[in-house]
């Protein structure tokens, strides 16, 4: 958001300062949960694997079906909230999120856990756009609203970062279901306080109508495409996987062509004609993809390869999480002194440098390299979380700011899910090709009876090869986008103090 010195001219009565601050705290609860639940399972997967024995592709679905559900429905629920009321949608979404969390905590099969994670994602998609809209009612003054949105963004970034740490702390003494049960007190507190502190918000008149076919096409296309990739990586090519992938790609092509024809598209793809917006949107997706994949694979590396306890793994992840959170808070000061161009370029080159440090890890040692990698890349992640939405919105005309913000939010969630789906599938493929080929995942292999030390070493080395490949591919993509941005971003883009 750009700052302004315009005088205060509220169109409605100003909320009291106390009510606004308390309302902000209440809104931040669901925001923190939605972000945390995108990453809280990264350190929990070894325990979940031991309890539910999922296959390789089921393990990936457990992790990323949540992100796919959130990402594919964010824009649709934003429009629904405009028409029927943001607070109503926020309350309903929070209630469903709590119920789905309870169901996930007590799931007895991988299929049930995947289903409840998907339902959590559907509910999570109602929370983010509605929470951001409610802030506009709480803080009608532009300066106060800018500060509140900055806190909102920092909370969202912190949730992503601390999810694995919180999960690790809980798993040290409790069952894996505890990572979902922690959602219930926050949801209950929100449902109790929100009616008193928040007011209804809706757009009058609503612009266009929700295109249900577009929602179905985007969700089906993404899920079918990813299923084909995951199944092929985990078990090899099959007629079912190849057919699903082909149908998914065809469905996404239909979706894109439909968006270009509709007067009120679900996602306004015409915005990508602006190169600054396009770079900002891709910057929203790519860092989340790299972070989620390396955080997930890194959690398995620390526990299953190096043999650390879940608590020790959580403590080792803490420096990177702290740096990411602190950077997301300090980035507005950096942008005010330099420019968004500098911030965007720093994002890609810092993340690429950090990812390349993962290549120094081995099957026998690598804790120091892991910490260094997460700290350096964490600076880049923190910058990207803070500048992407503002850059995307600033790059388009004011009347299209809502669409730009929706695409920026969607790119974050899809990046989180796609990182695990695509880079995680790459790691799975290499493990299947180079490992002992006794089971689909490292944890399944290590739990086999009578496994010899030589085969265990081979399995761990194959997993590390997969981790290195995922990190190297992500680093190459960031380097490529950084070099592209160096050439194509204007030399004097919008600054934080631009009018």
Residues 454-479 pLDDT 10s: 999 999 999 999 999 999 999 999 99
53 phi-psi bin (left φ>0, alpha ψ -120 to 50, beta other): left
Using alpha carbons, select from 306, 250, 277, 227 the residue that is nearest to residue 64: 227
Q: Averaging pLDDT over each range in 12-16, 390-394, 440-444, which range is the top one? A: 440-444
Same fold, 17-199 and 271-499: yes
Query: With bands split at pLDDT 50, 70 and 90, how would you rate the model's confidence at 67?
Result: confident
pLDDT top residue among 267 and 191? 191
Question: Degrees (nearest 5) of the Cα angle 272, 274, 275?
Answer: 95
Top CATH class, 17-199: mainly alpha
Q: Averaging pLDDT over each range in 78-92, 332-346, 474-488, which range is the top one? A: 474-488
pLDDT top residue among 273 and 104? 104
pLDDT top residue among 325 and 8? 325
Q: Looking at domain 271-499, which of 3.30.1490.100, 2.40.10.120, 2.70.70.10, 1.20.1250.20 is its CATH number?
A: 1.20.1250.20
Check: CB of residue 73 under 8 Å from CB of residue 215.
Answer: yes
Domain edges within the chain: 17-199, 211-265, 271-499
Rounded Cα distance between 184 and 37, Å, is 13
The SS3 assignment for 109 reads coil
Q: Averaging pLDDT over each range in 83-92, 380-389, 458-467, which range is the top one? A: 458-467
Share the mean pLDDT of the chain.
83
Q: Whole-model pTM?
A: 0.77
- 45-54 core/surface letters (b: 16 or more CB in 10 A; e: else): bbbbbebbeb
pLDDT top residue among 493 and 356? 356
Question: What pLDDT does residue 155 have?
Answer: 80
Handedness of CA 297, 298, 303, 307 (dihedral sign): positive
The pairs formed by 309-313 with CB atoms below 8 angstroms and a separation of 24 or more are: 309/172, 310/43, 310/44, 310/46, 310/47, 310/168, 310/171, 310/172, 311/168, 311/169, 311/171, 311/172, 313/43, 313/168
Question: What pLDDT does residue 414 have?
Answer: 77
pLDDT greater than 70 at residue 312: yes
Rounded Cα distance between 410 and 414, Å, is 6
Rounded Cα distance between 415 and 409, Å, is 10
Query: With bands split at pLDDT 50, 70 and 90, how would you rate the model's confidence at 497?
Result: very low
Question: Degrees (nearest 5) of the Cα angle 399, 77, 212?
Answer: 95
The SS3 assignment for 315 reads helix
């Amino acid at each position: 958001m750009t700052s302004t010195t315009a005088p205060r001219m509220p169109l409605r009565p100003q909320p009291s300062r106390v009510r606004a601050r308390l309302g902000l705290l209440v809104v931040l609860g669901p925001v923190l949960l939605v972000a945390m639940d995108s990453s809280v399972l990264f350190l929990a997967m070894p325990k979940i694997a031991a309890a539910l024995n999922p296959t390789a592709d089921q393990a990936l679905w457990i992790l990323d079906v949540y992100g796919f559900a959130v990402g594919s429905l964010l824009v649709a629920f934003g429009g629904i909230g405009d028409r029927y009321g943001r607070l109503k949608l926020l309350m309903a979404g929070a209630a469903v999120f709590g119920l789905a969390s309870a169901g996930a905590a007590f799931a007895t099969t991988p299929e049930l856990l995947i289903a409840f994670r998907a339902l959590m994602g559907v509910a999570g998609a109602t929370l983010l756009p509605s929470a951001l809209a409610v802030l506009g009612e709480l803080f009608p003054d532009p300066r106060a609203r800018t500060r509140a949105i900055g806190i909102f963004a920092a909370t969202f970034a912190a949730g992503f970062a601390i999810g694995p740490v919180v999960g690790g702390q809980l798993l040290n003494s409790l069952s894996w279901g505890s990572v979902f049960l922690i959602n219930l007190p926050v949801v209950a507190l929100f449902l109790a306080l929100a009616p008193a502190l928040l007011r209804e918000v809706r757009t009058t008149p609503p612009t266009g109508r929700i295109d249900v076919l577009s929602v179905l096409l985007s969700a089906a296309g993404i899920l079918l495409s990813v299923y084909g990739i995951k199944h092929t990586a985990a078990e090899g090519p099959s007629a079912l996987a190849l057919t699903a992938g082909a149908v998914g790609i065809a469905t996404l092509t239909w979706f894109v062509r439909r968006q270009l024809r509709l007067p009120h598209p679900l996602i306004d793809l015409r915005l990508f004609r602006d190169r600054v917006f396009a770079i900002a949107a891709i910057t929203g997706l790519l860092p989340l993809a790299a972070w989620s994949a390396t955080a997930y694979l890194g959690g398995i590396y620390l526990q299953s390869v190096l043999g650390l306890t879940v608590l020790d793994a959580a403590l080792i992840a803490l420096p990177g999480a702290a740096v990411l959170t602190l950077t997301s808070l300090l980035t507005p000061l950096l942008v005010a002194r330099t420019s968004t161009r500098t911030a965007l370029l720093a994002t890609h080159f810092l993340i690429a440098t950090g990812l390349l440090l993962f290549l120094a890890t081995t099957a026998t040692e690598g804790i120091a390299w892991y910490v260094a990698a997460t700290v350096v890349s964490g600076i880049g992640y923190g910058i990207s979380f803070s500048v992407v939405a503002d850059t995307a919105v600033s790059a388009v005309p004011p009347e299209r700011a809502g669409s730009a913000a929706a695409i920026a939010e969607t790119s974050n969630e899809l990046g989180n899910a796609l990182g695990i789906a695509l880079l995680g599938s790459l790691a799975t493929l290499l493990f299947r090709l180079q490992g002992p080929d006794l089971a689909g995942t490292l944890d399944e292999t290590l739990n086999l009876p009578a496994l010899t030390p030589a085969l265990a070493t081979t399995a761990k080395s194959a997993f590390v090869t997969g981790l290195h490949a995922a990190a190297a591919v992500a680093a190459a993509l960031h380097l490529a986008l950084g070099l592209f941005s160096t050439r194509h971003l204007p030399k004097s883009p919008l600054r934080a103090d631009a009018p």
